[in-house]
Chains A and B, each alone.
Chain A
């Protein structure tokens, strides 16, 4: 089976979708001729023409707003926001328009759009190229939010997102584009070509939205993670020797609560990990759900390891990033509680 980087896998998902369905349209800033600043859409304009893949003005509200209109017409736009940090001008269009169109018109109009955006830090992007705004989307009724952690899932989830009848936010952990980064920033990253989840089948397949994956089976403690933090958690488990069960949520909304609850009931302990800021982060929702559903099985308080409640700094990137040492400490503390 061919091995692909996450970039190639995501591109392949769009390629497959565009070939299968001429309603699929791809656009965004630098997305057309050049193929995007991360080269994710490279070659799509040459293959499908300028009507199917084109450059947009630097106007995120315009990109998402026009996509909503296109979806209302009957197309299936898959647009790129260059960095998740740039999505705020489009937030009104996403939260009050895309998310609610089906509901407010009682299905008269629908909004099958996908909004892709690179998320997370680890590339010295500073406070405007590193954010993880997933909780700003999961808090909105009517959106679905997906965060893949590997090329195989990225392709299958993106095809599923494009085929979904409702708006999907597709957050691409940019630190994973080229390999399963585990937070050890001083070590070389294994390329996807050497990782089993870098195996990406040709052609069409989907990974269903709303289904988590258990990345490491374990019995001592459940770790809830997504995106880059899946590999950080794996590193922490190996380095501490704690038999953690690591769940890759893959889709934050709809959430696979059944998989979470079954695991925590088995282990009796839970550590929630994300790169986004702590307060009102998605970890708060996960933590609340675990205590609501597993209270009598819990042996220890649910712990959270997250980015600090500050903007993502530039020079202090690795002090900010919740790396394997911090996650490892949380595992040890949770086991000792």
Chain B
């Protein structure tokens, strides 16, 4: 009884605030290639330490090393680089379009491009993602048309969602991309339900749930883990730990748990941490988890350790809550540069080709933007009709809505 007496209230704080020197010395970075690659039917109790380490493939010299390396061909890696560059270019243009008043809101992926772009390539056709607002790489990497994404962002006359949803809240069943809600964590348990349905139907498709570090504090995250664990649902439970939930550092959601991956351990779910800025590592771990799900071995929890280099959204200014240079100090680097260096190291890419590709991609994005803008932007040109506001709520419009539509004069 050394500390009896007055109780003290504890509120965790990040290491550094604006004005301070960025410091990630509290983030231990294991050597690339050092993490073992267990068999997919591994007893989760024997790999508990993998929830506290980081699986990495690309080393500082741009080499792919260790047991998680070697899954992707040069062509596949070049496509991955191109997808990440496209997403980055797309983001930059749409961020600018938001600043120009062409839409109300935007959310970019800067620094996190590898997570969704690489993950998509580990899935098979028919699998379903239940994404958050920062996984548009799932669409880009699956060939979803950029023009359609932009039409949605602009809420224009060609918007497939008829102007009903905030920008970037895409939906594409065809591309395995569940409608984004805008609420947090609700989709996590829905993904588990989808996976349960696939198992109930003796299908072969799997689901992927997505959530950010901050939203793991929501009860739906825990609901999802209970259901996934109980019914051994064929689902990959992805946690994208980009360190920041708007202005709140990840320690507020993580609490006393060492990592977010460790959340899975109490549920008996194999839980891995992976370098989220390492395209090869993300893909390899996703493939492992997908294989487990498809082999009826149940869920896997994967924490992607990354860093949100940009603002949370177009409405956010991170300089108010974290040091400006923090993203430069992030020890896992930039996913595009790391994959670029790897491909240069392999002799299949060069700085010149990279610069040329950047220009080509920008041209493609601008062309898509021009086409999208020919259908209107939020405040100019073609827009969804007022009638669209009343339609599609129910399969058949009930009488009270018909009356209201008439009142609205449409």
Contact = CB atoms under 8 A, between A and B. Distances in A.
B313 interface: no
Nearest to B384: A106
Interface string B146-185: 0000000000000011101100010111000011010100
Interface stretch (B28-36, B193-201, B330-338): B193-201
Contacts of A104: 161, 164-165, 169, 171, 179, 181
A197 B230 CA distance: 41
Interface string B113-153: 00000000000000010100000000000000000000000
A166 B401 CA distance: 15
A70 interface: yes
Contact of B400 (A52, A73, A166, A255): A255
Contacts of A25: 197, 200
Interface stretch (A93-101, A122-130, A314-322): A93-101
B54 interface: no
Interface stretch (A5-13, A34-42, A55-63, A199-207): A55-63
B220 A110 contact: no
Interface of A: 25, 51-52, 56-57, 59, 61-62, 65-70, 72-75, 77, 89, 92-93, 96-97, 101-110, 141-142, 144, 164-166, 210, 253-255, 257
Given A103-B164, A254-B400, A62 B392 contact: no
A97 B186 CA distance: 8
A212 to B, nearest CB: 12
Contacts of A61: 189, 219-220, 223
9 contacts: A69-B207, A73-B194, A92-B183, A93-B189, A108-B171, A166-B395, A210-B399, A253-B398, A254-B399
Given A62-B189, A62-B224, A106-B160, A97 B394 contact: no
B171 A102 contact: no
Contact of B183 (A97, A107, A142, A164): A97
Contacts, number: 143
B392 A107 contact: yes
B190 interface: yes
Contacts of A93: 186, 189, 220
Contacts of A59: 223, 226-227
Interface in B359-398: 392-395, 398
B400 to A, nearest CB: 7
A72 B194 contact: yes
Contact of B223 (A65, A75, A102, A165): A65
Given A74-B197, A104-B169, A66 B189 contact: yes
Contact of B197 (A70, A92, A101): A70
A66 B193 contact: yes
A110 B394 CA distance: 9
B390 to A, nearest CB: 10
Contacts of B194: 69-70, 72-73
A57 B230 contact: yes
Contacts of A101: 179
B144 to A, nearest CB: 12
Contact of A69 (B172, B191, B400): B191
Given A69-B195, A75-B200, A109 B181 contact: no
Contacts of B392: 102-103, 106-107
B236 interface: no
B192 interface: yes
Given A70-B196, A72-B194, A65 B394 contact: no
B201 A73 contact: yes
Nearest to B200: A51
Nearest to B188: A65
B229 to A, nearest CB: 9
B223 A166 contact: no
Query: Which of A68, A106, A107, A142 has the most C-beta atoms of chain B within 10 angstroms of its own C-beta?
Result: A106
B161 A105 contact: yes
Given A68-B190, A69-B195, A75-B201, A105 B226 contact: no
Q: Top 3 closest A-B pairs, CB basis?
A: A69-B193, A66-B193, A65-B189
Contacts of A57: 223, 226-227, 230
A142 B394 contact: yes
A92 B226 contact: no
B339 to A, nearest CB: 32
Contacts of B219: 61, 89
Nearest to A58: B226
Contacts of A257: 399-400
A287 to B, nearest CB: 16
A75 B197 contact: yes
A77 B189 CA distance: 15
- The residue in A61, A89, A96, A101 that gathers the most chain B C-beta atoms within 10 A of its C-beta is A61
A102 to B, nearest CB: 6
Contacts of A102: 392-395
